[in-house]
Amino acid sequence: MTVLVMSDSASLTPALQLEDLERHYGERVALSDVSLSLPAGQTLVVFGPNGAGKTTLLRVLATLLRPHAGKVRLLGKELPREGWAVRGRIGLLGHAPLLYRELSAEENLRFHARLHGVGELRVAEVLKAVGMEGRSGEPVKMLSRGMLQRVAVARAVLHEPEVLLLDEPYANLDPAAREQVTGLIGAGSGCTRVVCSHDPSGGVAEADVVLGLREGRQVMLKLARDVREGDIAGLYR
């Protein structure tokens, strides 16, 4: 087990703790021997080629998958046993937008607002924040991929989660839209974040800790400031 010791933040309460995490699909190993500790309010950026286990890691943290071995603690709760206590404190933005295609953006967010006990004013607030207030009445099936991503961002932050789980969060966004949502899901959001990325320079720049996965195994764990040129590229060779 390799756990990064962050001497300058040792007094901070860990938001995420993994110890020898393992998950497999039949005989195929999706994650094996993944161990780390991330202080609250910091960002873990996960790199690795397709099939490395990045999305599986997010799904375990979102309580959508059960680990087969090891320990997972999120916000002080053990997963999956205490998953019920953290689900409402997590915002998940994955490859699927988790929106009903026949409903409008506003109707989708109202539905999620009821699930989380969030008021109507918050729905209008996040739609404006992502620049979708003018298109909020259209069925999401009519929206472009970039607009759909912006609505998905609004859904993920609607309930003001403490933890953001983000899988390629800026996919399909043009530079203006990316800048617009950065305040909600970026490093300045104040949330603890786990971000899966294929963008070496941008990903490292917004990270506190960098995790490298290859074929489900942890092959790199470094403070972002210690990542050297070529470290990320080496994961893809």
Structural domain boundaries, residue 34:
12-235
Q: Tens digit of pLDDT for each residue in 174-226?
A: 999 999 999 999 988 999 999 999 998 889 999 999 999 999 999 999 999 99
Which pLDDT value is given to residue 5? 46
Token pair for 5: 């010791």
Total number of domains constituting the chain: 1
Which pLDDT value is given to residue 237? 85
* CATH code assigned at 112: 3.40.50.300
pLDDT surpasses 70 at 2: no
Would you give the DSSP letter of residue 13?
P
pLDDT surpasses 90 at 10: no
Q: Tens digit of pLDDT for each residue in 61-109?
A: 999 999 999 999 999 999 999 999 999 999 999 999 999 999 999 999 9
pLDDT surpasses 80 at 4: no
Residue 4 maps to a domain: no
Residue 67 maps to a domain: yes
Residue 59 maps to a domain: yes
Residue 5 maps to a domain: no
Which pLDDT value is given to residue 11? 52
Residue 6 maps to a domain: no
Mean pLDDT over the full length of the chain:
93
What is the CB neighbour count within 10 angstroms for residue 94?
A: 19
Which pLDDT value is given to residue 131? 95
- Is residue 7 packed enough to be buried (19+ CB in 10 Å), middle (13-18) or exposed (0-12)? exposed
CA torsion 10-14-20-23 (nearest 10°) is -150
Neighbour-count burial for 165-198, b at 16+ CB within 10 Å, e otherwise: bbbbbbeebeeebbebbbebbbbebebbbbbbbe
The stretch 17-43 carries a mean pLDDT of: 95
Residue 1 maps to a domain: no
The stretch 24-29 carries a mean pLDDT of: 92
Residue 144 maps to a domain: yes
Residue 3 maps to a domain: no
- Is residue 226 packed enough to be buried (19+ CB in 10 Å), middle (13-18) or exposed (0-12)? exposed
Which pLDDT value is given to residue 229? 81
H/E stretch holding 214 reads strand 209-214
Instruction: State pTM to two decimals.
Output: 0.93
Q: How far apart are CA 34 and CA 57, in angstroms?
A: 9
Q: Shortest CA distance to 80 belongs to which of 98, 60, 97? A: 60
Q: How far apart are CA 102 and CA 104, in angstroms?
A: 7
